[in-house]
């Protein structure tokens, strides 16, 4: 029987990295300094934050850039929230900034006061527009951004958006999926079940209007219509173009996210995967989540020195 030794070695390396990131291994390691302590102050180049309107498809959406201390230019993480975005993971943003990275957060079109119509398609477009903004030389000079060192990290719906965008952008330094929502799996469910799942998230029937006029029914129809195109396992070759982090929890999404990991490893990708025994919001594992992401970022080429 013929054995592809090169593929076997890649698979073994990927499995070894996965084992290093098990919860037991994580607990055995000291916490990264950026989680428990502020870095030295740099009065010449202090950390800061800039609120601005990010252009995307004819409108400008609400965005915030957290800039790291130091002269730069700095690597930058685009951090994407989920549906509707009650958990914005800003504790993670602050830890990443203390690690020496800039962090860009945003509210997609139609969400949390951003103008435009909310849809899953628009979320994908807005994330891509954010990467265009991060690669604009004028923005790079103004905010000390290194366009060659960009990473996308997303939670829940933001994890799906991260996976899709990263699979189509080989220039990224890496991508991190935290309990990525399996929109590609919506096609196998009855419409009323999809509506029920989405309504539990956006809570329109409870009087919430975080997504403007978007409805669970319209979002369900969009997800079902695009189920095949939004199955991230088919983009494994694109995801394999750069390091991939996959974090799962006890929220029921782990099998779908593990399938993405396996497909990416089969395509020759470098995947770091860990599972934290907690809920979808990682509510009692926030430090563990931060440590997982920070340690992965530290291993990327071009990570800030001295952290």
- Note whether residue 53 is domain-resident: yes
Tokens representing 78 are: 């685009």
- Note whether residue 36 is domain-resident: no
Q: What is the pLDDT along the chain (307 residues), one digit of tens a residue?
A: 333 434 434 444 444 444 445 555 555 678 999 999 999 999 999 999 999 999 999 999 999 999 999 998 999 999 999 999 999 999 999 999 999 999 999 999 999 999 999 999 999 999 999 999 999 999 999 999 999 999 999 999 999 999 999 999 999 999 999 999 999 988 789 999 999 999 999 998 889 999 999 999 999 999 999 999 999 999 999 999 999 999 999 999 999 999 999 999 999 999 999 999 999 999 999 999 999 999 999 999 989 854 4
pLDDT at 23: 54
- Note whether residue 15 is domain-resident: no
* CA distances from residue 95 to 92, 185, 268, 286 in whole angstroms, order as listed: 5, 32, 30, 11
Count other C-beta atoms under 10 Å from residue 171's C-beta: 11
pLDDT at 10: 43
- Note whether residue 107 is domain-resident: yes
pLDDT at 306: 43
First to last CA, the chain: 47
Domain that holds residue 260: 46-298
pLDDT at 26: 54
CATH number at 116 reads: 3.40.50.1820
Residue environment code for 14-35, b if the CB has 16+ CB neighbours within 10 A, otherwise e: beebbeebeeeebeeeebbebb
The number of folded domains in the chain is: 1
Tokens representing 192 are: 């009323």
pLDDT at 27: 58
- Note whether residue 33 is domain-resident: no
pLDDT at 214: 96
């Amino acid at each position: 029987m013929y054995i592809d030794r090169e593929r076997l070695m890649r698979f073994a390396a990927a499995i070894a990295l996965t084992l290093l990131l098990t919860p037991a291994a994580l607990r055995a390691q000291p916490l990264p300094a950026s989680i428990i302590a502020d870095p030295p102050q740099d009065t010449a180049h202090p950390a800061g934050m800039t609120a601005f309107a990010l252009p995307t498809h004819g409108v400008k959406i609400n965005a915030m850039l957290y800039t790291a201390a130091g002269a730069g230019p700095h690597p930058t993480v685009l951090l994407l929230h989920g549906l509707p975005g009650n958990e914005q993971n800003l504790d993670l943003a602050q830890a990443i900034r203390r690690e020496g990275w800039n962090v860009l957060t945003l509210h997609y079109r139609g969400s949390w006061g951003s103008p435009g119509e909310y849809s899953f398609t628009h979320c994908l477009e807005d994330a891509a527009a954010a990467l265009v903004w991060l690669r604009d030389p004028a923005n790079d000079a103004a905010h000390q951004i290194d366009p060659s060192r960009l990473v996308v990290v997303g939670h829940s719906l933001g994890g799906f958006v991260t996976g899709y965008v990263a699979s189509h952008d080989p220039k990224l330094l890496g991508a991190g999926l935290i309990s990525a929502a399996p929109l590609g799996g919506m096609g196998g469910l009855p419409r009323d079940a999809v509506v029920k799942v989405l309504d539990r998230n956006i809570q329109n029937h409870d009087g919430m209007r975080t997504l403007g006029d978007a409805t669970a029914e319209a979002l369900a129809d969009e997800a079902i219509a695009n189920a095949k195109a939004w199955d991230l396992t088919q983009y494994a070759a694109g995801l394999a173009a750069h390091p991939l982090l996959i974090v799962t929890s006890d929220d029921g999404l782990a099998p779908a996210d593990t399938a993405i990991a396996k497909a990416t490893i089969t395509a020759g990708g470098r995947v770091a995967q860990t599972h934290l025994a907690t809920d979808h919001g990682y509510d009692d594992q926030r430090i563990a989540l931060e440590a997982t992401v920070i340690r992965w970022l530290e291993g990327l080429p071009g990570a800030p020195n001295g952290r």
